[in-house]
Amino acid sequence: MDTLFKKYKRLICIALANVVNTTHAAQYDLFFNADSIPIVLSASRLPQPQTEAPTTVTILDRTLIEASGATTVTEIFRLVPGMQVGYARGNFPVVAYQGLTSEFPQGVQVMIDGASVYSPLFGGVQWSLLPIEIEDIEQIEIIRGPNSVSFGANAFQSVINITTTNSAQPAYSGGSLQISNDQSKRIFMRTSGSLNNIDYRVSYADNKNEGYNNLNDDLKRQHVSSRLDYRIDKHQLLQINLSALDSLRQTENPISALLVFDPKRNRNESSQFTQIKWDYQITPEELIKTNVSFIHTDAKDKYSVPFLANKIDITSESTRWNADLEHSFRLNPSNRLVWGVGATYETVYSPFRINTEQTKSNQRYRLFSNIETKINPQFVFNGGAVIEYDDISGNQFSPRASLIYLPSVQHAFRLSATQAFRTPGLTEEYRSSFFGTLELERSAGNLDAETIRSAEFGYHGLFLNNLLNADIRYFHNKYEKLINTELPEPGLQIIDNQGSATINGLEFEVNYRPNKFTIFHTGYAFTDISRTTSTLKDSAPKHNFNFLVSQRYRQQWQTSIAYYYMSEMEYLGGQNNPQSKFQRLDLNISKTLTFNANNELNITLKTQVALDKNTDFHSQAAADNRIFLQVEYRAY
Amino acid sequence: MRIKVEQNSLWNTILCRAIVIAASLLFATSSVYASTNIIIYDEKSAYQTKFYQYLINKTNHSNIKFITLNSSTLSKQQITQHTPSLVINLDKKSPQQLVDLKLKIPVLHTLLTNADSTKYLKCQFSCKVKNRKHHFFVLDQPPNRQLALIKLVKPNTKNIGVIYSKKTSNQVTLLEQTARHLSFNIKPFLTNSDTLGFKINDMAKSSDVLLAFSDDVIYNPTTLPQILLTSYRYRTPVIGFSKGFIKAGAVAGVVSNLNQLATQLSEALLDFDDGQAIISSGTIYPKYFSVISNRRVANSLNLRFPSDSALTTTLNSRESP
């Protein structure tokens, strides 16, 4: 026994000595073996400097997101000029850009760590099924304007690019509880850690939301998500994201005459999301990125109504597989090239919308390339194109060109033009819906892709030792072949490409961080829709304004004030047109207490003052004052 | 006559003896000037071998001779049998052994970090200049040089965050003293591997810049991703201490490569060979250096500063008398 113990002790000593030596050797590797150190802040993690970007970009980083006091992911987008956030119901948020939208905004492409979560069912994103929690977001980059060249079809009006927090940081475990005056409750828990070269994080969130006071729009939602980062070697990084979400979304038609056909019930909606991402950083200038993702959503909703023998089945199911490969490298000191290929396969099962029990599918393939040429220190040219084939609308071509003039490194003027497209979704192409024997909607068939021709002139400037940045742009967008998916009046609705519109607008954004404790952010958008039908004309607010000031204090106190304004507008298919102007004042205060050297407790009080008590999609959806109390514990 | 002959013979004898003594003395002196130095290094280590080669190349036109000893088989007899003028140690594992041997000749330790030399130089940075035997040519850059770089890279910097362990606490004191003259405020965060994640977060939230010390408790390939990602989250640029660190994601740093370090050591050897004693308080900082930056990270943080060569020239000109 004693010998065994000695042997064991010796083995431990040898193992410990090895650990010490490894750390010691590793330290000297930092000095003398530069090639053995992986590039942590690689090109894929660093956004392009805004002065050199060919498009207009809003960057919402973790600090700004925390300072805003946003209680849900969608609320963050109120900080983006021109972006409109609304609620079709309290449990069904809507994020759109520059209008032309119903409760399913189809012009906004949403990516999570490079994987699209665009729904093949309605187009756009069903935000209540988004496979991510606000705590797991590291940064959101919003490209304001079309960008099919980089993101393919459906990057039609805007692209929301969400980057999740690397599981290597911050390595903490903990949880939070949030309660509010409207009986809503949210529990969030996270654990994280590492094993050799693998860092992982697992999060769980449980939401109970009461929605609007006068609507049956409760939501119960459970979500488990995880991210795993495996550093294969100094060049290769593997990332795996997994998410499973289950929800009960209460629904009921708020118009009493229609209540009999659309009664109060719970829709059981769920989604599963998987993503495998492999980055191969060959040199600091050359990167190969591959991404395979899968998202499946399904909604069970079957109910009986009087006078109809059969149950109404609004059950739907969709699947989307996506694979992308992107290679970026420097051709020479003046030219950088990105090229890539991608493929998408999507299926939809929706008997109510396409009047068949069959599952419909669509395939898409794309090839894209973009070159950045530094003509001289003052001029940068960006040119690119994407060719995409789609089973429904055939071949599409989207080019883009931009010229940036940099009179100095702090100031950039950009001129850009592009043509982009949105391919019709499966439920648009095969639309055929009935209520009993009454036909409600029918697709004209062989739908074309919606197109946009966009031109913009912008300026981005850095001031006060680069602590203040300002961006202003004027744009002219011409939309053609828009697909009408909403019922403007009773009777059979034919889905076709008859819509068109022209949008001119002006947007600005200012960010100022004079020090590490103060944040100032503001944005404004003027949007004018013309040359279109009356319903589309008012589908975006003319004026959209946001303002945020946040201050951190020495004793770990933090306060912030945010003000959001949106002038009146009309969502397509809204039952409360026009939606009155929206004004809200958010006041947040938080205090962090530190104990035991690496544990902290954060207590936050968030208030949302509805200044106009405006009503949203439905006349019963009246905004109300909200107070949230959140307690969060973190153990590092 | 006979007396005269005897006197001549005596003079001849004295002269002969004098010539013999002079010749012996001359020989003896010349053998001292063609000094023999012992180099201790680990042949298996690529960087030590490379450094040794640089040193040989830089001193091959001088009278300096090197005898190499493997650090794994080190004894006092092995060293003293060659009656060396100096011992040069390149191996991080050998300083303690050499200190214990209590040699009467100077010992120059090189390719060591400040943190590692602390173990053998307890009074580090406050040692008095005496007839010191052990001298440490460290890899770390002097604080004034690092602070000057910060001023050039991010001119509006006020608060400089420093994460350190007990190993590097001496360096914080010295940094604070230097920073006071340059109107910087040093925010030190004492940590260990258990509390690192928390302290990084804390530091990055409140500091304008993170200045990294070469401290293996804090900075090693395992912790580097966490440090760089968290600093970047709060837009806090990191000043690194090596090429690998900067390539990984630090915004810039002052570094000395093996060639530069070998140049400095060879100059010290040549001076010693010329009869100049090696006088230091124990720690000798790199004399030759370059600035390296990571432009991709700098651009992403909206930092605009002159080219690496221009920064190196500026720092050099500020240090020249």
**Residues from chain B contacting residue A284 (CB–CB below 8 Å):** 247, 296
What is the model's pLDDT at position B67? Answer: 86
Q: What's the rounded mean pLDDT across residues A426-442? A: 88
Comparing CB atoms, the residue among A29, A31, A469 nearest residue B139 is: A31
Transcribe B72-116 into DSSP letters: TS--HHHHHTT--SEEEE--TTSHHHHHHHT-SS-EEEEEE-HHH
Which residues 75-104 on chain B approach chain A with CB closer than 8 angstroms?
92
**Residues from chain A contacting residue B222 (CB–CB below 8 Å):** 26
Q: What's the rounded mean pLDDT across residues A493-502? A: 90
CA distance A595 to A635: 10
Which has the closest alpha carbon to A457: A424, A412, A496? A412
Q: What's the rounded mean pLDDT across residues A408-429? A: 94
What is the model's pLDDT at position B127? Answer: 67
CA distance B217 to B222: 10
CB contact under 8 A, A32 and B230: no
Transcribe A264-331 into DSSP letters: SEEEEEEEEEEEEEEEEEEETTEEEEEEEEEEEEEEE-EE--TT-SSPEE--EEEEEEEEEEEEEEEE
What is the model's pLDDT at position B10? Answer: 53
What is the model's pLDDT at position A27? Answer: 59
H runs (alpha helix) in A130-237: 148-151
Going residue by residue through chain B, which has 321 residues, state the pLDDT in tens, using 9 for 90 and above.
444 445 555 555 555 555 555 444 444 444 445 578 888 888 888 899 999 999 999 988 888 888 888 877 778 888 888 888 889 999 888 888 888 888 888 899 999 998 888 887 766 666 666 657 888 999 999 999 999 999 999 998 999 999 999 888 888 999 999 999 888 999 999 888 778 888 898 899 999 999 999 988 899 888 898 899 999 999 999 999 999 999 999 999 999 999 999 999 999 988 888 777 777 777 899 999 999 999 999 988 989 899 999 999 999 998 876
pLDDT band at A37 (very low <50, low <70, confident <90, very high): confident
Does the structure show a pLDDT above 50 at A16? no
| Percentage of the residues of chain A whose pLDDT score is greater than 90 | 68
Q: Which residues pair with A95 in a beta bridge?
A: A85
Q: What are phi and psi of B109, to 5 degrees?
A: -95, 135
What is the model's pLDDT at position A13? Answer: 43
What is the model's pLDDT at position B8? Answer: 55
pLDDT digits (tens, 9 = 90+) for B234-292: 999 999 999 999 999 999 999 999 999 999 999 998 888 877 777 777 789 999 999 99
Residue A449, classed as helix, strand or coil, is coil
Residue with tokens 């992911």: A73
Strands A173-180 and A185-195 come out as antiparallel
Which has the closest alpha carbon to B124: B168, B88, B89? B168
Average pLDDT, chain A: 90
Choose the mutation target among B233, B246, B255 for the interface with A, i.e. most A CBs under 10 Å: B233
- Angle B46-59/B258-273 helices, nearest 10 degrees? 40
What is the model's pLDDT at position A2? Answer: 46
Instruction: Give me A594's structure tokens.
Output: 């530190």
Residue A449's Cβ-count burial label (10 Å; 0-12, 13-18, 19+) is buried
Q: What's the rounded mean pLDDT across residues A363-373? A: 95
Among the listed ranges A174-188, A226-240, A421-435, B265-279, which one has the minimum average pLDDT value? B265-279
What is the model's pLDDT at position B319? Answer: 85
Which has the closest alpha carbon to A564: A74, A41, A18, A220? A74
Q: What is the ipTM of this complex?
A: 0.83
Which residues make Cβ contacts (< 8 Å) with residue A277, sequence separation at least 6? A113, A114, A115, A238, A239, A240, A241, A289, A290, A291, A292
Does the structure show a pLDDT above 90 at A3? no
Between B217 and A6, whose confidence is greater? B217
CB contact under 8 A, A63 and B207: no
What is the model's pLDDT at position A500? Answer: 92
Length of chain B: 321
Which residues make Cβ contacts (< 8 Å) with residue A80, sequence separation at least 6? A58, A60, A97, A142, A144, A523, A546
Q: Which residues pair with A328 in a beta bridge?
A: A287, A338
**Residues from chain A contacting residue B155 (CB–CB below 8 Å):** 465
Among the listed ranges A222-236, A412-426, B273-287, which one has the minimum average pLDDT value? B273-287
Closest residue in B to A596 (Cα) is B195
Give the number of other Cβ atoms within 10 Å of residue A357's Cβ.
8
CB contact under 8 A, A138 and B233: yes
Give the number of other Cβ atoms within 10 Å of residue A445's Cβ.
12
Q: What's the rounded mean pLDDT across residues A266-279? A: 96
Q: Helices H, strands E: what count in chain B?
A: 13, 12
Is B212:B240 a contact under the CB 8 Å cutoff? yes
A595 to chain B, closest Cα gap in Å: 11
Residue B192's Cβ-count burial label (10 Å; 0-12, 13-18, 19+) is middle
Q: Does any CB of chain A come closer than 8 Å to the CB of residue B289? A: no
Choose the mutation target among B48, B151, B304 for the interface with A, i.e. most A CBs under 10 Å: B304
Is B277:A24 a contact under the CB 8 Å cutoff? no
B159 to chain A, closest Cα gap in Å: 10
CA distance A419 to A421: 7
pLDDT digits (tens, 9 = 90+) for A445-478: 999 999 999 999 999 999 998 899 999 999 999 9
Strands A626-635 and A173-180 come out as antiparallel
What is the model's pLDDT at position B23? Answer: 46
Rg (chain B; Cα; Å): 25
Does the structure show a pLDDT above 80 at A280? yes
Which residues make Cβ contacts (< 8 Å) with residue A171, sequence separation at least 6? A192, A193, A194, A199, A636, B197, B226
Q: What burial letters (b/e) apply to A463-486, b meaning 16+ CB within 10 Å?
A: eeebbbbebbbebebbbbbbbbbb
A590 to chain B, closest Cα gap in Å: 15
What is the model's pLDDT at position A19? Answer: 40
Peptide bond into A170 cis (omega under 30): yes
Which has the closest alpha carbon to B106: B254, B273, B296, B250? B273
Instruction: Give me A364's structure tokens.
Output: 């898409």
A:B CB pairs within 8 Å: 152
Is A64:A523 a contact under the CB 8 Å cutoff? no
Is A172:A190 a contact under the CB 8 Å cutoff? yes
**Residues from chain A contacting residue B92 (CB–CB below 8 Å):** 24, 28
Closest residue in A to B47 (Cα) is A32
CA distance B44 to B51: 13
Write down the pTM of the prediction. Answer: 0.87
B232 to chain A, closest Cα gap in Å: 8
Residue A84's Cβ-count burial label (10 Å; 0-12, 13-18, 19+) is buried
CA A132 to chain centre: 9
Peptide bond into A407 cis (omega under 30): no
Rg (chain A; Cα; Å): 26
Q: Does any CB of chain A come closer than 8 Å to the CB of residue B198? A: yes
CA distance A559 to A553: 8
B81 to chain A, closest Cα gap in Å: 32
Is B268:B278 a contact under the CB 8 Å cutoff? yes
Is A220:A250 a contact under the CB 8 Å cutoff? no
Closest residue in B to A519 (Cα) is B234
CA distance A419 to A403: 16
- Angle A2-32/B46-59 helices, nearest 10 degrees? 50
pLDDT digits (tens, 9 = 90+) for A123-157: 889 999 999 999 999 999 999 999 998 888 889 99
CB contact under 8 A, A169 and B233: yes
Between A535 and A568, whose confidence is greater? A568
CA distance A159 to A147: 7
CA distance B158 to B177: 15
Is A453:A477 a contact under the CB 8 Å cutoff? yes
Four-point Cα dihedral B124, B125, B129, B135, nearest 10: 50
Instruction: Give me B254's structure tokens.
Output: 């002052």
Closest residue in A to B48 (Cα) is A32
Question: Measured on CA atoms in the order B98, B102, B108, B110, is the torsion positive or negative?
Answer: positive
